[in-house]
Amino acid sequence: MNTKMRIAVVGAGLGGLTAAGFLQRAGFSVQVYEQAPTFSRIGAGIILSANVTKVLRRLGVADALIEAGIKPHCYISRAWDTGATMYEIVFDAASEVRFGGPYLNIHRGDLHAVLERVVAPGSIAFDHRLIGLEEKSEQVRLIFENGITAVADIVIGADGIRSKVRETLFGSEPPRFVGAAAYRAIFPTERLRGFKIPDCTKWWGRDRHLLPYFMTSKRDEIYAIGVVPAPSWDSDEVSVPSSREEFLAAFAGFHPDLQRVLEAVDTVTLWPIFDRERNDCWSGGRIALLGDACHPVRPYMAAGGAMAVEDGAILSRCIEKFDDLAEAFRCYEAMRIPRVSDVQRISIENSWMRGPTDTDWFYCYDSCTAPIAPP
Ligand SMILES: Cc1cc2nc3c(=O)[nH]c(=O)nc-3n(C[C@H](O)[C@H](O)[C@H](O)COP(=O)(O)OP(=O)(O)OC[C@H]3O[C@@H](n4cnc5c(N)ncnc54)[C@H](O)[C@@H]3O)c2cc1C
């Protein structure tokens, strides 16, 4: 594609910043528009597997992420009642070579503080909430809530599960509540009063699971996310306050090692979980979607952010390679949809690393070198 094309990315999340970072490196003029007034330290952790960190390394931020987060020694799946190990994967120098990158756990706020650096200074316009798009034959007009308008030749909708860009392409359709909610808590390790836990454990119950992990290499901060069935959800808020007592009650009867962790929890919030039905149309005209804007997944495989990053890398490579935009978008969709739909299926099953699991197809994949061919 001619690098004179002006590209607007809506949403400065994982996917949007990855796409913008690569497109800028390819010589395009890229502006990112973000609704938030600034990045804030949102209370949650995130797992970045090797298929993500190897991409972020090419954007020059892997070392900073490793410094801000933790390379866990292992991930262990344990049975809720007996505590028996159902699966364990060790992350060491050999696995890092095999997968092509480290496995990393990090606080989301720390991640964003680093991610901002993948784009040229000044290329994120904060406080720009997109409210409309008008596509003309040669360009797209972006309309923001603050009264500002902008034009671009290509628009990338990286604006998350409630994407406005998606709405302008396919109409308004709320995401699907999946009948589950997640307790989320962050607390200092000292509240465990010396009780030792592995770097990352997933406790598997019959209809619920809980994942506590460290978020810093000092192992001084723990994030615990526990997913439970929830027949309905009637709040419009993204989360509601909860409590240690509710969190403990939801996991009553679980192994004593886990009870020790939950007793240390301090502030707790409860988040409804949404996804969308699979839809294989991710673009239209001069507009393409990526990440949660087109394929939000249940957070049971820790792979939604990973898919957004991979989308960003592949979409930017397709835009760079093809002269024809429609061909670029077709190729992007053809490359991404089979892999993303596998992740959607596994996330719905909640089967990832429950027992013996082939992880190579997921961790070894490199979205910066995967062959690009016309669909
Ligand atoms: C409980 C939970 C745990 C998870 N854990 C993991 C994990 O461990 N690992 C993992 O890989 N994934 C995980 N995920 C999934 C992951 O968070 C998402 O898939 C990922 O954030 C999607 O990235 P994105 O860039 O597509 O969208 P987002 O990260 O949602 O970013 C979208 C951006 O667009 C902005 N925006 C939205 N609307 C507008 C607008 N109208 N105008 C301008 N800007 C707008 C938003 O403010 C935001 O900054 C988890 C999800 C949940 C719910």
Residue 249: HSE in the Cβ half-sphere, 13 Å Cα cutoff: 6
The rounded Å distance from CA 162 to ligand 1 centre is 10
Tell me the pLDDT tens digit for each residue of 282-311.
Answer: 999 999 999 999 999 999 999 999 999 999
pLDDT at 236: 87
What confidence tens digit (pLDDT) does each residue in 327-369 have?
Answer: 999 999 999 999 999 999 999 999 999 999 999 999 999 999 9
User: How confident is the model over 118-147, as a mean pLDDT?
Assistant: 96
Atom number of ligand 1 nearest to Cα 293: 26
The answer to whether residue 373 scores a pLDDT higher than 90 is: no
CB of residue 352 inside a 6 A radius of ligand 1: no
Q: Count Cα neighbours of 138 within 13 Å in the Cβ-side half-sphere.
A: 1
**With 80 as the cut, is the pLDDT of residue 43 above it?**
no
> What's the rounded Cα separation, in Å, for the pair 132 and 321?
29
Residue with tokens 């060491």: 92
Categorize the per-residue pLDDT at 207 as very low, low, confident or very high, splitting at 50, 70 and 90. Answer: very high
Residue pLDDT, tens place only, 10-22: 999 999 999 999 9
Q: What is the pLDDT of residue 51?
A: 98
| Cβ of 343 below 6 Å from ligand 1 | no
Determine the distance separating the centroid of ligand 1 and the alpha carbon of 100, expressed in angstroms. 24
Tell me what pLDDT residue 346 has. Answer: 97
What percentage of the chain reaches a pLDDT higher than 70? 99
CB 141 within 8 A of CB 187: no
**Token pair 């707790």 in the structure block, residue:** 268
Residue whose CA lies nearest to ligand 1 atom number 3: 299
255 CA from centroid of ligand 1 (Å): 32
Query: What is the rounded distance in angstroms from the CA atom of residue 201 to the CA atom of residue 213?
Result: 7
Under 8 Å between Cβ of 29 and 150: no
Say if residue 168's pLDDT is above 90.
yes
Q: 10 Å Cβ neighbour count for 211? A: 22
Vertex 141, ends 139 and 143: CA angle to 5°?
165
Using only C-alpha atoms, the chain has a radius of gyration, in whole angstroms, of 21
CB of 304 closer than 6 A to ligand 1?
A: yes
Q: Please report which confidence band the pLDDT of residue 39 belongs to, taking 50, 70 and 90 as the band edges.
A: confident
| Predicted confidence (pLDDT) at residue 40 exceeds the cutoff of 80 | no
* In the predicted structure, residue 245 carries a pLDDT above the cut 90: yes
Q: Which residues of 326-339 are buried (b: 16+ CB within 10 A; e: fewer)?
A: eebbbbbbebbbeb
pLDDT confidence tier of residue 257, bands split at 50, 70 and 90: very high
Residue 293: the pLDDT is 98
pTM for the model stands at 0.97
* Residue 156 in contact with ligand 1 by CB distance below 6 A: no
Residue 136 has pLDDT above 90, yes or no: no
**Is the predicted pLDDT of residue 375 greater than 80, yes or no?**
no
**Whether the predicted pLDDT of 41 surpasses 80:** no
Q: Is 213 among the catalytic positions?
A: yes
State the pLDDT at residue 203.
98
Going by alpha carbons, the residue nearest to atom 9 of ligand 1 is 302
Q: State the Cα–Cα distance between residues 340 and 168, nearest whole angstrom.
A: 23
Nearest C-alpha to atom 11 of ligand 1 is from which residue?
305
36 Cα nearest atom in ligand 1? 47
Measured CA to CA, the distance from residue 235 to residue 131 in angstroms comes to 23
Q: pLDDT tier at 374 (50, 70, 90 boundaries)?
A: confident
Q: What is the pLDDT of residues 59-104, one digit of tens each?
A: 999 999 999 999 999 999 999 999 999 999 999 999 999 999 999 9
Provide the pLDDT for residue 188. 97
Exposed, middle or buried: residue 292 (CB in 10 Å: 0-12, 13-18, 19+)?
buried
User: What average pLDDT is seen over the chain?
Assistant: 96
